[in-house]
A and B are shown apart, each in its own frame.
Chain A
Amino acid sequence: MTAPARMRLGLPDLGIGVGLRLPHYEEIFETRPKVDWFEIISENFLVPGGVPLANLDRALAHYPVIQHGVTLSIGGTTPLDFEFLRDLRTLLRRTKSPWVSDHLCWTGTATLNTHDLLPLPYTAEVIRHVAARARIVQDTLEVPLVLENVSSYLTYTSSDMTEWDFLTAVVEEANCGILLDVNNIYVSSENHGFDPRAYVDAVPAERVVQIHLAGHTNYGDYIIDTHSGPVIDPVWDLYRQAIRRVGPVSTLIEWDEDIPPLATLLAEAERARVVREEALSHAK
C-alpha cells in the first residue's frame, strides 16, 4: 500500500535532486540547470567563512538544499559531540534544510576516527543505545533527523535480527525518518546474501522521507559502495519497488568517485524522474 504523503513526518517531496559537488559549481551557477534540489555534505560547509559558504549561498539563492552528514556516528559509544551539533544547527539555519540526514552506523572510538561508515550489530541493546542518541540529536538540531541504511562488508556474530528489523526498530523508537539508500540495500544484499526486495517491503513506508541512488564497484567476492558509475538495472528495479510502496519521495543521485560531466549526472537524474513517474503510475 502506498503511504499518503502527509504521513511522511510532514516533510515535503522535493522531487529529483543531485549531490552538489565542487567540479560542477561553475556550470551550475552559470547555467542554473533544471534540478529540483541539491544535497550537500554538511561537514564540507562547517567552516568559518570564505569560498565554501559563498558557494553555498549561491546555490541557496536558486535551489532548495538538503543537508546530509557523514560524521554524526549515531551508533558510537563515545559521547555525542555537542559542539559539532551546534555548528550543524547553525548551518541548518542558513540552508533552511527541512530535515537533516546521516547514517545508521558508527565511525570511530575515542582514539580512532575511521572516516568510514561501519555497520552496527543488530541487537536490542544497540537499538536502545542508538534511539536514545537519535532523540537527543533531533531535539538539539530542531529539525527531523533522517537515518540512512549503510552498505556493509561484514556481519557481526552478536546480531540477532535482520538489518531491516533493526532499522525499523531504531526509527520507531527514536521517532525519526529513513533515508532509504536502495543501492546500499543492493550492495549489502550481494555481500551478505539476503533478498533486497524483502528489505524494501519491510521498512515502514510512512517514515521514508528520502531515497538515495548511486553506482558501486563490484570486486567479485564483494561489492563496495563507491558512488562511482551509473545506477545499475537491479538497483533501478529496487527503486521502482520502493516508489510503488512508499509513494512520491525526494530522490537523490549520488556520484562521488570519477565524477562525470554535469550533463551525465543530470541525465541520470532524468532517468530517476522517468522511473519514478512510471512506478507511481503503476502504484495507482
Chain B
Amino acid sequence: MRNDLASVQAFLASVIPGHAPIPDEPALAETAARFVTGNGRLTPAAQVDIYRRQFWLRHREILRDDFPALARLLGEDKWNAFCRDFLGVHPPAHAAFEKLIEPVPRFAETWTGLETQAERTFAADLARYEIALLEVRTGPDAPPLDPQMLARLPEDAWERARIVLHPAMRRLSFAYPVHRLRKAWLVSGEPAVFPDAPSPAHIALYRNRELVTHFEELEPEAATLLDLLAEGVPLVPALGRLAEPLPEDRQAHVAASVGRWFQQWTALGIVASVDLPSSS
C-alpha cells in the first residue's frame, strides 16, 4: 500500500466522516496502523478516532450556530440525528461554511426523521429563513438612496427607470410565518413547536442603516411587484404586469397602495437607487 502524502490524506478523509468508533471497525483499524503509529496509550485507530469525533462535534456546532431555531425546534436527540444524516448525504467539500449549509433546506424538505410533510415543509422554510438572515448580515453594501436624485427624476422616468433594490435584501415566501415564530422562540423565549396549520407569508428581509436586520411583511401583490423590480422591469411596466391577471378590486387596491409601498421601501433602504437609462 502506498504511503505518500496523497494516500495518507485520502485514507484519513475517507474515515474521518464516519460514525462508529474506529477501534470497533477491524478493517479500518488495520488500515489505520499502516499510516499511523499509535503510542503507549492509544492505538493507531484510537488516534484517528480523535479526529473523527472532532469532525462530528465541530460540524454539529457549525450547523447549530447557523440554524439555532431549527436546532431548538428539533430538540437535542432529533438535532443530532438530523446533523448525522445531513453530513452523511452532504459531507463538507468546501472550506466556506456557506457551501456547507446551502443544501440544508432541501435536505429538511425530504428528511424522514420528521413525521409529516407539513413538518418537513416547515423545517425547510425555517432553514431557508435562517440562511437568509446570514446572507443579509454579510451581503454587499450600497450607498443610501439620494432623495434629491429621486426629486430630480422627470415625470416620464418611471416608464423606463430601473429601480435598484439593495443587494443584501432578500425576498422570501413561506408556507409558514417562520420569521415571526423564530423571533418568538429566540427573542421572547416561547417554546419551539410545530405550528398547527400553514399560514403563507411574504417578507422582505433587509438590514437598516445601522446594519440591524429586520423583516417587513408584504402583501402578495407587493411581493410580486418586488420580484418584478428585482428582475429589472421598470416601475410602470411592472405595475402593468402585476395588475393584468388581478380582479378589479385587487387592481384598485394595488393602485391605491403602490405609493405607500414605494415610500416604505425607500425609507427602509430596500430601494437603493433608481437607474435611469439614457433615452438613446
Contacts and interface: CB of A to CB of B under 8 A. Distances in A.
Contacts of B94: 113
Interface stretch (B53-61, B66-74, B75-83, B265-273): B53-61
A43 B41 CA distance: 36
7 contacts: A51-B137, A52-B138, A108-B93, A113-B92, A113-B94, A116-B58, A155-B47
Interface string A39-54: 0000100111111111
Contacts of B48: 154
A161 to B, nearest CB: 14
B36 interface: yes
Contact of B3 (A43, A54, A115, A158): A158
Nearest to B98: A47
Q: Closest 10 A-B residue pairs measured CB to CB?
A: A49-B141, A154-B47, A47-B138, A71-B95, A48-B140, A153-B50, A109-B13, A112-B13, A77-B6, A221-B41
B95 A115 contact: yes
Contacts, number: 131
B188 to A, nearest CB: 22
B27 interface: no
Interface in A149-178: 153-158
A116 B51 contact: yes
B232 interface: no
Contacts of A191: 39
Contact of A155 (B10, B39, B96, B207): B39
A121 interface: yes
B136 A156 contact: no
Interface string B1-44: 00111101110110011000000000000000111110111101
A222 B33 CA distance: 18
B141 A50 contact: yes
B51 A49 contact: no
Contacts of B44: 154
Contacts of B167: 48
B62 interface: yes
Contacts of B96: 43, 46
Given A49-B141, A154-B36, A112 B95 contact: no
Nearest to B16: A114
Given A71-B95, A153-B50, A158-B3, A48 B139 contact: yes
Contacts of B207: 50-51
B95 A81 contact: yes
Nearest to B167: A48
B16 A50 contact: no
